[in-house]
Amino acid sequence: MAQQDRNLPEGTDTIVPGASDTDTSDVTGSGSGAGRGSRSVSRSPKSSGGNAVMSKIRSGGDKLSDQAAGKARDLLGQGMERSAEAIANVGKLVGDTASGLDDRLGADYGDYARSAAQTLENTANRLASKNPDELIDDTREFIRKSPGIALAGAAIVGFALARLVKSGLSRSEDEDTAERRGSGKTRSRG
pLDDT at 19: 65
Question: Computed over its alpha carbons, how large is the radius of gyration of the chain?
Answer: 33
pLDDT at 18: 67
- C-alpha distance across the termini of the chain, in Å: 55
pLDDT at 156: 93
Let me know: does 5 contact 14? Beta carbons within 8 Å: yes
pLDDT at 40: 45
Helix axes 132-145, 45-104, angle to 10 degrees: 80
Helix axes 132-145, 147-183, angle to 10 degrees: 110
Nearest to 28 by CA among 13, 36, 18: 18
Torsional sign, CA 48, 53, 58, 63: positive
pLDDT at 49: 62
User: Which are the contacts of 88, defined by CB distance < 8 A and separation ≥ 6?
Assistant: 120, 121, 124, 125
pLDDT at 44: 46
Task: Give the pTM.
Answer: 0.45
Per-10-residue mean pLDDT for the chain, 190 residues long? 62 71 47 44 52 83 86 86 89 86 84 89 88 86 91 91 83 68 54
pLDDT at 62: 84
In a 13 Å sphere around the CA of 123, the CA atoms on its Cβ side amount to 14
pLDDT at 64: 87
pLDDT at 112: 87
